[in-house]
């Protein structure tokens, strides 16, 4: 199974990292920086405005009090001077007033008044005015100097009240902007992105046909529209890909089944051919009897079985008499026919399971008789001989009869004996030799035996 991609985070986690909130935070951070810069600029501007305003106020005071004070100096109205100085000091932007009277031929006199707690002009403006008086037109005389110190505390007080307004206004502006952006972003983007995410979470191979659609104006053509059509196209191509894959898998399964069937058929054919080959390799093609190789395999098997079970094992070697003469006079083809007829006659006489007749030489047949005693084997050998003679295959050139006959050499491996098959075969072969020597068409058994000879058996 394909593991889910890392981006497939749970929905709750996605909500915690909402794009809207991130946007709001970014806006707020930007607004905070913006507020700091703009507050600094506005404060600097408000400070300069305050200075200008105070300077203008001091200039206005100069204008108002200049003439009045000049007149009071000229008239030497000291009480009036003190009253005017005190009243000017009461104006909010004035921190201190110094009036220096410099009348001709009189010592300079100073009137000064300062606001309680005034420590100096600091950043506040200071204005100096030369007081003059014209007793008659064309005669102007300098009579003193008026110095007005602005009150720095007033400057700071005014700045503080402005600063609060600036900060509150900027804060409100930023918060409203962030809220508006979040609201719009939420309505225009976040809601639809969540819808797309939940649609994608629910996409399965079985519902690829269910297309994604957003609840918004069909006339909107923007990145979300592109995203929706991209998702739908992807689902479409996935669906056709899966369909193709399913088809290929079905075809592949059919091919696999067909291939398995072909392999099965071919294996069966090969097995049959193999069995045929095996059978051919172990069968004499002329007579259809087991051949020499088959006879050798069977003799080994029967020897082992005789040893294991303590059975006796009898062996007959049958040889057609004067067969060379038969061939010479009747032809090789007739010789073959004769061989097939003799083989058939021998086979017909063997009915017991385990008995075996094989063609072990040109006109020589070996008969294996497992668990068969000497007398029984002798009886069977006689029956074989008679059966061949009973075929009555004409053989006018035989030395022993007018028909085809066989001679049989018999050897018996008694139960419990230790001799090998080679020795048994040799004894059967010697018996056959004796049968031939004794005139053919007869059965010859072992020389030293304790069972009587049968009818037709050579002594």
Pick one of 148, 323, 410, 431: the residue that binds ligand GTP (CB under 6 A): 323
**In the stretch 334-363, what mask flags binding to ligand GTP with x, by CB under 6 A?**
-xx--x----------------------xx
- Total residue count of the chain as it appears in this document: 459
Strand order in the sheet with 406-413: 356-359, 364-370, 313-320, 406-413, 443-444
User: How far apart are CB 331 and ligand GTP at their closest, in Å?
Assistant: 8
Residue 81 or 343 with smaller CB distance to ligand GTP: 343
Dig out the tokens for 181 from the structure: 């952006």
Residue 413 DSSP SS3: strand
Which residues participate in catalysis according to the annotation? 363
Which residue(s) pair with 409 in the sheet?
Answer: 317, 444
Q: Distances in Å between the alpha carbon of 25 and those of 31, 169, 268?
A: 10, 19, 79
Alpha-carbon gap, residue 379 to 454, rounded angstroms: 7
User: How far apart are CB 361 and ligand GTP at their closest, in Å?
Assistant: 7
User: How far apart are CB 408 and ligand GTP at their closest, in Å?
Assistant: 12
- Using CB under 6 A as the binding rule, whether residue 444 contacts ligand GTP is answered as no
Quick check: 126 and 117 in contact, CB under 8 A?
no
Pick one of 22, 255, 324, 397: the residue that binds ligand GTP (CB under 6 A): 324
User: How far apart are CB 371 and ligand GTP at their closest, in Å?
Assistant: 30
Strand order in the sheet with 126-136: 109-114, 94-101, 139-150, 126-136
User: How far apart are CB 432 and ligand GTP at their closest, in Å?
Assistant: 9
Residue 335 or 370 with smaller CB distance to ligand GTP: 335
Residue 78 or 397 with smaller CB distance to ligand GTP: 397
Residue 377 DSSP SS3: helix
Residue 55 DSSP SS3: helix
Residue 413 or 436 with smaller CB distance to ligand GTP: 436
Specify the stretch interacting with ligand GTP by CB under 6 A; choose among 210-218, 240-248, 322-330, 443-451. 322-330
Q: Interface residues with ligand GTP (CB under 6 A)?
A: 286, 319-325, 327, 332, 335-336, 339, 362-363, 436, 440
């Amino acid at each position: 199974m394909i593991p889910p991609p890392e981006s497939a985070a749970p929905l709750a986690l996605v909500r915690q990292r909402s794009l809207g909130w991130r946007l709001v935070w970014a806006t707020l951070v930007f607004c905070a920086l913006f507020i700091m810069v703009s507050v600094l600029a506005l404060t600097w501007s408000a400070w300069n405005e305050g200075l200008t305003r105070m300077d203008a106020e001091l200039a206005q005071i100069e204008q108002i009090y200049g003439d009045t004070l000049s007149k009071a100096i000229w008239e030497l109205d000291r009480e009036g001077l003190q009253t005017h100085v005190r009243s000017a000091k009461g104006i909010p932007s004035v921190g201190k007033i110094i009036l220096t009277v410099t009348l001709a031929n009189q010592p300079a006199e100073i009137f000064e008044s300062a606001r309680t707690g005034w420590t100096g002009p600091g950043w506040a403006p200071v204005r100096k005015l030369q007081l003059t008086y014209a007793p008659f037109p064309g005669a102007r005389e300098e009579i003193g100097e008026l110095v007005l110190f602005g009150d720095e505390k007033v400057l700071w007080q005014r700045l503080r009240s402005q600063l609060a307004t600036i900060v509150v206004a900027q804060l409100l502006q930023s918060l409203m902007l962030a809220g508006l952006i979040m609201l719009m972003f939420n309505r225009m983007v976040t809601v639809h992105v969540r819808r797309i995410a939940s649609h994608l979470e629910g996409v399965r191979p079985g519902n690829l046909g269910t297309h994604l659609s957003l609840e918004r104006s069909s006339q909107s053509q923007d990145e979300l529209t592109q995203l929706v059509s991209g998702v739908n196209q992807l689902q479409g191509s996935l669906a056709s890909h899966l369909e193709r894959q399913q088809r290929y898998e079905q075809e592949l399964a059919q091919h696999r089944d067909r291939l398995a069937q072909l392999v099965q058929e071919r294996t069966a054919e090969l097995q049959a051919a193999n069995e045929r080959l095996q059978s051919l390799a172990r069968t004499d093609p002329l007579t259809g009897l087991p051949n020499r190789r088959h006879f050798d395999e069977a003799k080994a098997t029967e020897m082992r079985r005789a040893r294991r079970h303590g059975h006796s094992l009898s062996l007959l070697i049958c040889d057609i008499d004067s067969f060379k003469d038969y061939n010479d006079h009747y032809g090789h083809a007739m010789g073959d026919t004769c061989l097939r007829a003799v083989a058939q006659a021998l086979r017909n006489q063997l009915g017991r399971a385990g008995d075996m007749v094989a063609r072990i030489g040109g006109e020589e047949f070996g008969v294996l008789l497992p668990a068969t005693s000497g007398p029984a084997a002798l009886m069977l050998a006689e029956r074989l001989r008679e059966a061949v003679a009973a075929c009555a295959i004409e053989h006018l050139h035989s030395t022993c009869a007018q028909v085809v006959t066989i001679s049989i050499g018999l050897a018996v491996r008694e139960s419990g004996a230790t001799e090998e098959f080679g020795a048994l075969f040799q004894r059967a072969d010697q018996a056959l030799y004796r049968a031939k020597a004794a005139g053919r068409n007869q059965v010859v058994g072992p020389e030293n035996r304790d069972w009587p000879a049968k009818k037709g058996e050579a002594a």
